[in-house]
Structure 1
Amino acid sequence: MSRPPRTAAITLAPDWVCEVLSPSTRVLDQAVKLPVFAREGVRHVWLVDPEARTLEVLRLEGKRYTLLVAHSGPAHVRAEPFEALELELPFLWGEEQGGGTR
């Protein structure tokens, strides 16, 4: 999309979706939304669970999602489709980082 459309809604599916799971929305996010995302061709989905401190990275293969990797805890990870960037999971969990540079 070279410029934003001048309509009230966008009909183009995103390449990536990140769902933040909570006890009240977990079933909706995993059982209801994932099949809709697959049907619409969303190629990558991240499921972030702040309580369990996990990041599940899914890729659409055919009509279903495949779990590529599940990261947890204080890891620093590179996750598809943004492998060029390092994601600090402690930041997602609201944990303070030690000072200094790496």
Structure 2
Amino acid sequence: MTVDKELITAQALAEALDLSVETIWRYTRENKIPCVELGSRQYRYKLDDVINALRGDVRENFAPYDTKPTKKLTYQDYLVIPEEPGYRYEILDGMLIREPSPNVVHQRVSRRLQRILEDYFWGVDYEGEIFDAPLDVTLLDYNVVQPDIFYVSGEQPQIVKDARIDGAPELVVEILSPSSRRKDRLQKMQIYKQAEVHHYWLVDPQERTLECFAWHDGVYSLVASGMDEDIVEHPNFAGLAIKLQSLWSNIK
């Protein structure tokens, strides 16, 4: 299929109009602006056509240049967000967060750590499961996250639904990237703490570090950490020893 060169993405349209991407998607869902559907949840726009639409009926009923969401977003809002190649989305505290898809280094480290965790938990919790992104996890009322790796224990079957995990996993692992470092260390840590995720790990391929936090009485404490070629042993998971060198080998 030949794609019109004048067609632009929702992100490009939002930047051109000084709007939020969420506003563009809201207008799209409500058929307030014209769009071209290229595939399932993939939309493109002609800037001139959109501007003309905003000068008409939309202008009478909405404030098209209001970049703040009118309400906190929920999982139901998340389900109708159009997909955009090269990006993934989460809802944190009711706000839509957009970031680039993971790169090769991220995926290599994720795959290696996931294999280690699968081998370990298979031996100590046969009914538990290790999952990885992209799989939605809904926490509290206004959070939809896609942790890089997470473990649902055999005592938590009630949170495993057909299309998502609805509740706090026992363990969540986030692998940091330049675009996610601040979000994972601050905003998501607060969300996981409030949701009572018992174990939260941060892996930093750039710094070659692993930090393991454990939840107790409403706060996270650092209970294990390591860097470079250290072997990290976790006090709450007897017999688990992670050789960090196995995560970093052959990555730049």
**Matched residue, 2:196:** 41
> For the Cα contact (< 8 Å) 1:44–1:80, is it kept in 2?
no
Q: Is residue 213–residue 223 contact of structure 2 (8 Å, CA) maintained in 1? A: yes
Aligned with 1:52: secondary structure? coil
TM-score, length basis structure 2: 0.35
Give the secondary structure class of the aligned counterpart of 1:33.
helix
Q: CA RMSD in A?
A: 2.3
Q: Which residue of 2 aligns with 1:14?
A: 169
2 CA distance for matches of 1:35 and 1:4? 20
Identity percentage over the alignment? 34
Q: Residues 3 and 60 (structure 1 numbering): CA distance in 2 closer, same or farther, change over 3 Å?
A: closer
Partner of 2:225: 70
Q: CA deviation at 1:4?
A: 8.1
Structure 2: runs of 5+ lacking an equivalent: 1-155
AA paired with 1:60?
Answer: W
Which 4+ stretches in 1 moved above 6 angstroms?
Answer: none
Farther-moved stretch of structure 1 (46-55 vs 5-14): 5-14
Which of 185, 193, 205 aligns to 1:30? It is: 185
Q: 1:33 deviation in Å?
A: 0.4
Aligned twin of 1:90: 245
Aligned length: 96
Task: Out of 29-38 and 80-89, give the one that drifted further.
Answer: 80-89
Q: Which moved more, 1:38-47 or 1:72-81?
A: 72-81
Counterparts of 2:228 and 2:203, CA distance in 1: 12
2:245 is aligned with what amino acid?
Answer: P
SS in 2 for 1:19: strand
**Shift in alpha-carbon separation, 1:38–1:4, aligned structure 2, 3 A:** closer
**Greater length-normalized contact order (CA 8 Å, ≥ 6 residues apart):** 1
Larger radius of gyration: 2
What amino acid maps onto 1:88 in structure 2?
K
Query: Are 2:235 and 1:61 aligned?
Result: no
Can you give the 5+ residue segments of structure 1 that lack an aligned partner in the other structure? 96-102
Q: Deviations over 1:52-72 (max 9, x none)?
A: 111111011222211123211
Distance 2:220 2:160 in 1: 29
> What is the SS of the residue equivalent to 2:182?
helix
